[in-house]
Amino acid sequence: MRVLVIEDYEPIRRSIVKGLTAAGMAVDQTGDGAEGLWYARSNAYDVIILDLMLPKMDGLSVLRKLRADGCRHHILILTARDTVEDRVRGLDAGADDYLVKPFAFDELLARVRALMRRSYGEKSPTIEVGGLRMNTSTQQVWVNDRLVDLSAREYALLEYLVRRAGQVVSRSDIWEHVYDFHSDTTSNVVDVYISYLRRKLEQSGQPPLIHTVRGRGYRLGEAGK
Amino acid sequence: MRLQSLRARLLLGLIISTVLLQAGASALVFWLQRQALYHRFDQALFATARALVHHVKVKDDQVWFDFEELSIPEFKRIKGPDYFQVWRGDGSTVARSLTLGAADLAMARPGPRPTRYNCQLPRDEPGRAVLIATEVVPKGPPERRGAPQTALIAVARETEPIRKDLWTLAWILAGTTTGGAVVAATLAWLVVTRTLVPVRELSRQIAAVESTGLGQRIDVPRLPSEVQPVADRLNEMLGRLAVAFERERAFTADVAHELRTPLAGIRSIAEVAASSPQNAGEAAGEFREIVKIAGQMQAMVEKLLMLARLDAGQVRAVLAPVNPRSVLEPLLAEHAARMGARNVTVRDNVPDETSVLADPNLLRMALANVIANAVEYVNDGGQIALETEQTENRTCLVVSNTGCSLKPGDEQKVFERFWRADTSRTGGQSHWGLGLSLVSRAMSVMGGRAVAQIREGGVFRVCLCLQAN
């Protein structure tokens, strides 16, 4: 799941990036509004965390420009402005959520996860596909009630596949949503991680979970779920 | 007794003046009526006396009164109210009305003109009389005629009816005066109460003004022109208070906002660090970051505290001759490394012998902030200049820097609290737009002032003007 953090106060930006990365998200970051707008326009983010007071272009302008472009990213405003008028202005400009500084990091994380569920039209943090069950809040995965131990990268890849279960997901989709801007990942690495996942999830005698669709990509579960 | 109430004063004044006016008018009416009544009474007595003169005759040099011919029936009665008596010049009685019986009428001193006087009548009735003296010429041919004889004729009548009439009049007047006073008091009360309605409304509106809603204004329709200026001044005062409150509110909001951001930084660093495993080196880095932010917050709080103290007048300037060079040199040394790294040159033209009248601590604080500001905003490879400007009795220390991107009109704003040309924090986390506010306050506490100027070529100047020593 890919997140963009646009925040000019470096200590906050750094700690958010660190925390989100630790939670298995691919995070891009920038300290100014104009660059933030460029990032948001050129990548497919699941969630954008946006400060309001930014150099070069303020957060509300970034938000309005993105919405005017028809951008459907989920945007969370994170700001020190706490009046009702500020919140109303932010939400009415097209934000999906509003969080006031100082904030509890766990709350920010929970709100980001909630926005991600909304991105994929889900309500429950628990997703089940065939014999696979995933809790996106606790980041635990079970196959036929057996808890599977995954690395952060493996989990991130599986979460994206689970969220798009039944659909064919191309390597570039995976690349866009699972790896951040500065990753030195190549699509070959995607194949490597897919093979790691298959090894950990699939057992002999059971039908395969991850299908390879020749020339197009991968599909988790049966088609058209 | 001091009457505090405007209404009581007006009422009392109105009632007293109405009653006095009515009483005076009644007294005048009474006196005029009395005069008229007595005048007519006297006229009647006088006419009667003239009529009696024709009955006085002289016979054998003796005055006598022809009672037989007397055709005035009132005198022939036994009982009053009309009386007369005729005397000779020597005072002996010639005749008297039957109503007198054997008693005498009181006689006044006769004069050339008829005399009017009050007298006591026989039955102790109060009465009024007219006395005329007349020369009676005997009848007959002039050669046989004797000497004329003096006769005194007094006519009197009881005055009881007049007194009764006057009493009636007095009662009527007293009654109308009292009634008039009651009516006048009632009317005055109504008028005064009605007149003071706008004043009551004014006080109600003033009472309704709350410290939270200073936007409201006093609006009393038909306010008397004497009270209108009070309402106007009050509205002006409310306006000034509202501006001050709004400034205070904005300041508090700014303080909260400015403290919230670094606090959020500390909190999120600590929370992320606490929830994710990390090595000792990483943890030390987080701690250093937190300490750095805390230090910046502390610097900001100290600036705010200093501003509050300056505002509250808790900082007294002790003025003494100060050579600004002694303050400038350590400050420049402090920033030397940073300026060197950014290729900033310093042009120091402050003469060695400069001396200003200042509080050394406040001047140091002001210069420290101005120089820190210049170092912060000067462009890489730019120049910071220090010089002095002399006016008649003032010495200005001028600190200027190149690389200024402020717009014309921003000169005044730089002294406002929390004002920054760029509202974001990218310029560095140690600048909140408080430094120059402090400078401005410190200068005014020392009796001087701070002026900002934007010159062509992106030169920003701050002049600290102080009394020359």
Indicate which of B255, B268, B282, B422 best probes the interface with A, i.e. most A CBs within 10 Å of its own CB: B268
- Cα separation, B36 vs B27, whole angstroms: 14
Distances from the Cα of B86 to the Cα of B49, B55, B90, B105, angstroms? 10, 10, 11, 9
State the helix-helix crossing angle for A59-68 and A33-42, rounded to 10 degrees. 30
Residue B384's H or E segment, with its range, is strand B383-390
Split at pLDDT 50, 70, 90, the class of B428 is very low
Pick from A198, A46, A72: nearest CA to A136: A46
Q: Are A24 and A152 in contact (CB under 8 A)?
A: yes
**pLDDT at position B424, please?**
59
Instruction: Choose between B148 and B46: higher pLDDT.
Output: B46
Give the dihedral of Cα atoms B105, B109, B111, B114; nearest 10 deg: -30
Query: Inter-chain contact B261–A81, Cβ cutoff 8 Å?
Result: no
Tell me, what's the pLDDT at B124? 82
Distance (Å, rounded) from C-alpha B152 to C-alpha B148? Answer: 13
Length of chain A as a residue count: 225
**Residue-wise DSSP of B210-228:** -TT-TT-----TT--TTTH
Using a CB-CB cut-off of 8 Å, the residues of chain B touching A49 are none
* pLDDT > 70 in chain B, percent: 96
Strand order in the sheet with A217-220: A168-169, A217-220, A210-213
Q: Which of A184-198, B9-23, B184-198, B249-263 has the lowest mean pLDDT?
A: A184-198
Looking at residue B427, its pLDDT comes to 41
Kindly state whether A57 is in contact with chain B, defined as any CB-CB distance less than 8 angstroms. no
- Band the pLDDT of A27: cuts 50, 70, 90: very high
pLDDT at A224 over 80: no
pLDDT in tens, B310-342: 888 888 888 999 998 989 999 999 899 989 999
Angle between helices B280-311 and A10-22 (to 10 degrees): 150
Q: What's the CA gap between B330 and A195, in Å, rounded?
A: 66
Q: How far is A62 from chain B (nearest CA, A)?
A: 14
Question: Which chain B residues touch A12 with a CB distance below 8 Å?
Answer: 261, 264-265, 268
Q: Please work out, in degrees rounded to the nearest 5, the angle formed at the alpha carbon of residue A62 by the alpha carbons of A60 and A64.
A: 70
Chain B residues whose C-beta is within 8 A of a chain A C-beta are 253, 257, 260-269, 271-273, 275-276, 289, 293, 422-426, 429
- Which residue in the set B272, B275, B426 is minimally distant from A31, CB to CB? B426
Asked whether the beta carbons of residue A19 and residue B261 sit closer than 8 angstroms, the reply is no
Inter-chain residue contact B268 with A31, CB threshold 8 Å: no
Q: Under an 8 A CB cutoff, do B264 and A32 touch? A: no
Mean pLDDT of the A177-199 span = 76
| pLDDT interval class at A182 (50, 70, 90) | low
CB contact under 8 A, A8 and B424: yes
Residues 6+ apart with CB under 8 A from A8: A31, A32, A51, A53, A54, A55, B424, B425, B426
ipTM attached to this prediction: 0.72
pLDDT tens readout for residues A96-105: 999 998 899 9
Find out whether B220 and B202 touch, Cβ atoms under 8 Å: yes
Residue with tokens 């929970």: A110
Task: Select the highest-mean-pLDDT range: A88-97, B146-155, B406-415.
Answer: A88-97
Best residue in A6, A61, A84, A105 for a mutation probing chain B (most B CBs within 10 Å) = A105
- A12, A32, A58: residue with CB nearest B268: A12
Per-residue confidence (pLDDT) for residue B3, from 0 to 100: 60
To the nearest whole angstrom, how far is the Cα of B260 from the nearest Cα of chain A?
A: 6
> For residue A55, what pLDDT is reported?
84
Instruction: Give the residue from B171, B160, B167, B224 showing the smallest Cα distance to B194.
Output: B224
Q: Mean pLDDT lowest for which of A185-189, B73-77, B198-202, B293-297?
A: A185-189
Residues in chain A within 8 Å Cβ distance of B289? 11, 14
Residue B401 CA, distance from chain mean position: 55
3-state secondary structure of B399: strand
- Using one digit for the tens of pLDDT, what is the confidence trace for B204-225? 888 888 766 777 787 877 777 8
d(CA B364, CA B292): 24
The CA distance from A178 to A127, in Å, is 18
Surface-to-core class of residue B124, CB atoms within 10 Å of its CB (0-12 exposed, 13-18 middle, 19+ buried): exposed
List of residues 6+ apart from B31 with CB closer than 8 A: none
Express as a percent the part of chain B with pLDDT over 90: 22
Interchain proximity A106–B276, CB inside 8 Å: no
Nearest CA in chain A to B291: A11
Banded model confidence at residue B366, pLDDT cuts 50, 70, 90: very high
Instruction: Between B2 and A62, name the one with better pLDDT.
Output: A62
Nearest neighbour of A102 by CB, restricted to B260, B273, B276: B260
Please name the member of B260, B276, B425 whose beta carbon is closest to the beta carbon of A8: B425
Cα(B370)–Cα(B120) distance, rounded to whole angstroms?
113
From the list A8, A12, A111, the residue with the least C-alpha distance to B267 is A12
Find the angle CA(A109)-CA(A115)-CA(A121) to the nearest 5 degrees: 140
Sorted by sequence, the CB contacts under 8 Å of residue B21 that are 6+ apart come out as: none
pLDDT level of residue A183 (50, 70, 90 thresholds): low
Q: What is the pLDDT of residue A178?
A: 82
Half-sphere exposure of A33 (CA within 13 A, CB side): 21
Provide the mean pLDDT of chain B.
85
Q: Using an 8 Å Cβ cutoff, are A95 and A73 in contact?
A: no
For residue B131, what are the β-bridge partners? B115, B154
What's the CA gap between A75 and A63, in Å, rounded?
Answer: 8
Record the tokens describing residue B385, joined without a space: 């200049």
Tell me, what's the pLDDT at B426?
46
Averaged pLDDT for residues A36-48 = 91
SS3 content of chain B, % helix, strand, coil (to 5): 50, 20, 30
Cα atoms found within 13 Å of the Cα of residue B244, Cβ hemisphere only: 7
For residue B425, which residues of chain A lie inside 8 Å, CB to CB? 8-9, 53
Q: Do B423 and A53 touch (CB under 8 A)?
A: yes
Tell me the chain B residues in contact with residue A80 when contact means C-beta distances shorter than 8 Å: 257, 260-261, 264
Name, in order, each residue with C-beta under 8 angstroms of A223's C-beta and a sequence gap of 6 or more: A166, A168
Residue in chain B closest to A55 (alpha carbons) equals B424
Window from A19-23, B64-68, B132-136, B389-393 with minimum mean pLDDT = B64-68
Residues of A in contact with B262 (CB under 8 A): 9, 11
Query: Which residues in chain B touch residue A31, judged by CB atoms under 8 angstroms apart?
Result: 426
Ramachandran category for residue B433: left, alpha or beta (phi over 0 → left; psi -120 to 50 → alpha): left
Q: pTM for the whole thing?
A: 0.59
Average pLDDT over residues A211-224: 83
> Could you tell me the end-to-end alpha-carbon distance of chain B, in angstroms, rounded to an integer?
60
Tens digits of residue pLDDT in B70-92: 777 777 777 768 888 888 888 88
Task: Average the pLDDT over B254-269 and give the result.
Answer: 86
**Pairing between β-strand A26-30 and β-strand A2-6 as defined by DSSP bridges:** parallel
What pLDDT score was predicted for residue B385?
93
Instruction: Name which of B222-231, B280-289, B321-330 the model is least confident about.
Output: B222-231
Of all residues in chain B, the one with the smallest CA distance to A59 is: B424
Strands B126-136 and B149-158: antiparallel
Residues of A in contact with B261 (CB under 8 A): 9, 12, 80, 101
Best mutation target, A12, A81, A86, A139, to test chain B (most B CBs within 10 A):
A12
Q: Does A92 touch chain B (CB under 8 A)?
A: no
| pLDDT for the residue B425 | 52
Q: How far, in Å, CA of A145 to CA of A155, rounded?
A: 17
Cα–Cα distance for residue pair B439/B97, rounded to 1 Å? 118
What is the model's pLDDT at position A56? 85
